[in-house]
Chain A
């Protein structure tokens, strides 16, 4: 084997190791693994940093291990994936989603190739090339519409399955960054003024980003209020803070 050592990327170190094992076709014990970078989980696999490892076979009786295949099902050894694509295996759903999306784009007369990635939670479809903003639409509505149709078409039974995310020109990532910034700004504002702030006009996914962005902030609490299109996100100062303030306020009042 001339590729003595390879570098593998994965969402987590474990995933990278699993991939390395698959590449070599040996169990983990037979690999020498060096961790190059620990990954940071992003949101839904977006904006995450991948974990990188360097893996090589342990020098002891390498040939016999490869010959026997050692427990793993015999399969042609895939070329070492060093480009770090997330794709572990493309399930039937992922392929169907890609096919439908390409079919829709073709009939919209915007024929663009679609790349597909899949992890444990989502199927991620990326429309390559420039739709000139037409594919994104106002506030991402065209992208959301495509995504909705695909989710309905692929999970026709309605029993769910992996969520399908459609993206182009890194729109989702840019939007997420924007929302995280917004959340941070509003969080600061709430802390400073100790007054609740509401933000409307967001879909469930966008609200989730806000909730998650402020999850670890102990000084503010987030909640969603209202129903349907009127549902708004509410950022308020944490109760304890409020109570403490009220108490000190009362003490001041009685002191006077």
Chain B
């Protein structure tokens, strides 16, 4: 899951080297924290949060497959 978010974020931003992803694994639910360069924040969030929403949708589709729940937090 972590790799998935990292891959998508790196494809979206201008500074892929500054993308940091950490995963807090829980029994049922995991939280993925995404950090990007300040001027890339808008790119991962998108207009009206559309890009962030799209990433969450893909994340939850991938999680369903392994019967888990994963939450994406974008950290400012």
Contacts and interface: CB of A to CB of B under 8 A. Distances in A.
Interface of A: 100, 103-104, 107-110, 134-135, 137, 141-142, 144-146, 148-149, 152-153, 156, 228
B50 A148 contact: yes
A107 B48 contact: no
Interface string B27-57: 0000000000000000100101011011101
13 contacts: A100-B11, A103-B7, A104-B7, A104-B8, A107-B3, A107-B62, A108-B62, A135-B61, A142-B58, A146-B54, A148-B50, A149-B51, A149-B55
B57 A137 contact: yes
B8 to A, nearest CB: 6
Nearest to B57: A145
Specify the main secondary structure of chain B where it touches its partner: helix
Contacts of B62: 107-110
A13 B33 CA distance: 52
Cβ-closest 5 pairs across A and B: A145-B54, A145-B57, A153-B11, A107-B4, A108-B62
B18 interface: no
A107 B7 contact: yes
Contact of B61 (A100, A108, A156): A108
B13 to A, nearest CB: 8
A112 to B, nearest CB: 13
Given A108-B58, A145-B55, A149-B55, 7 more contacts: A108-B65, A134-B64, A137-B61, A145-B61, A148-B46, A153-B11, A153-B12
Specify the main secondary structure of chain A where it touches its partner: helix
B51 A134 contact: no
Interface of B: 3-4, 7-8, 11-12, 14, 43, 46, 48, 50-51, 53-55, 57-58, 61-62, 64-66
A142 B12 contact: no
Contact of B51 (A103, A135, A152, A228): A152
Contacts of A144: 54, 57
Contacts of A109: 62, 65-66
Contacts of B57: 137, 141-142, 144-145
